[in-house]
Amino acid sequence: MQIVKTIPALQAALKIWRQAGEIIAFVPTMGNLHDGHLKLVEDAKNRANRVVVSIFVNPSQFGAGEDFDSYPRTEQEDQQKLQEIDTDLLFMPTIAEMYRPNAQTVVSVTGISDQYCGASRPGHFSGVATIVCKLFNIVQPDIAVFGEKDFQQLAVIREMVRDLNMPVDIRSVATVREASGLAMSSRNNYLGAEEKNLAALLYQSLCTARDAVLTGNQANSEIERQAMCFLQGAGFQPDYFSICRRQDLRAAAPEDAELVILAAAKLGKTRLIDNISFMRQLQ
C-alpha cells in the first residue's frame, strides 16, 4: 500500500493508473476505521482495479463547540487495517495541504442540507460538500463509495454530483451494525459500557416505527411522536425522528412507496444518528 500526504504525490500515482486504463474507486473517511469503513473498501475493490482511501478529519464540517479536537485519531491502526485488506493507496493530507489560507470558496447544497442534521448543525453539510468536492477534483475517481449510515450526507453528495455534472458514480453500502443493532460509528468510542447498551435502542425505535408504518394504522406524525417519547423515556435527548421519502428526504406521503426513517439523538455527550430504509406496498 502506498501512503502519500501531498496532492502532487497522489496525482502522480493516479496518473500511472489512469494511463493504464484502470478504473479507480475512492473511499473518503475521517479515520478511526471500523468494520463499516472496511466494508466500503471491500465494495470499492469489487468495482474497480485500484482503490484510494483518504483519511482527513475535516475541520470545516465541525461547528463551534463540537468534537473536532477530541475526534478519535488512530492513524497507525488505520494504516494496518487498510494494509491487511490490500488497499492500493492511502491519502493522508494535512489541513494546510487541503485548505489554503483564507480560502473563500464554499460548496453548499441548499434545500436537502437545511433540515434534520443540517438544522441542528448549521454549516455542517457545506463543510462536507466542500471537502468532498475538493477530494473529487483531486482524485478524479470513476467511482466513490459511501456508507448509508450517514444517509442525509449521502443524499447531499448525490445532489452535488448531479448538479455539478461530476463524472463520478456514487455507490452506497448498507449500514454495518454491531450484534445489538447499534450502527457502527467512530463516535461510539465516546460511549461508556452502559451507554453503549442503551444506544442500541435507537435502532430498535426505528424498527418499531417501520413496522407501524407498514401496518398502516397510525398517521406518520403519531408514529414519530411515539418514537420521540420512547427515546426520551430511555434517557436520550432526541433531535429528530422523521419518516421520509427515500429519494429526496421530504416528508413521506401516503402515495410514497420507497421510504427511509431518519433519527438523531444524544446519549450523554454522544450524538448518534441512524436510519432504516424499506418499501411498502401501496393500495
Instruction: Mark residue 262 as left, alpha or beta (left: phi above 0; alpha: psi -120 to 50; beta: remaining).
Output: beta
Across 252-266, average pLDDT: 97
Percent of the chain with pLDDT over 70: 100
Contacts of 171 (CB under 8 A, 6+ apart): 43, 44, 47, 143, 144, 145, 146
Known active-site residue 37: yes
pLDDT at 283 over 80: no
Task: Using only the alpha carbons of the chain, give its radius of gyration.
Answer: 19
- The C-alpha atoms of residue 208 and residue 224 are separated, in whole angstroms, by 11
Confidence of residue 246 (pLDDT cuts 50, 70, 90): very high
Check pLDDT > 90 for residue 268.
yes
d(CA 92, CA 254): 46
Confidence bin at 282 (pLDDT 50/70/90):
confident
What share of the chain has pLDDT > 90, as a percent? 98
Residue 150: name the closest of 178, 187, 189 by CA: 187
| pLDDT at residue 261, as a whole number | 98
Which domains, and CATH codes, for the chain?
2-173 (3.40.50.620), 186-276 (3.30.1300.10)
- Global confidence as pTM: 0.95
How many Å apart are CA 246 and CA 257, to the nearest integer? 9
Name the pLDDT band for 269 (thresholds 50, 70, 90).
very high
Between CA 134 and CA 49 the distance in angstroms is: 23
Helices marked H in the chain — which ranges? 7-19, 35-47, 75-84, 95-98, 117-120, 124-139, 151-163, 193-215, 220-233
- Distances in Å between the alpha carbon of 209 and those of 42, 169, 187? 31, 32, 24
pLDDT, tens digit (0-9, with 9 covering 90-100), for 106-134: 999 999 999 999 999 999 999 999 999 99
Per-residue pLDDT tens digits for 21-58: 999 999 999 999 999 999 999 999 999 999 999 999 99
Q: For the chain, what is the mean pLDDT?
A: 97
Instruction: At 71, give phi and psi (nearest 5°).
Output: -60, 130
Q: Which of 33, 37, 116, 262 is catalytic?
A: 37
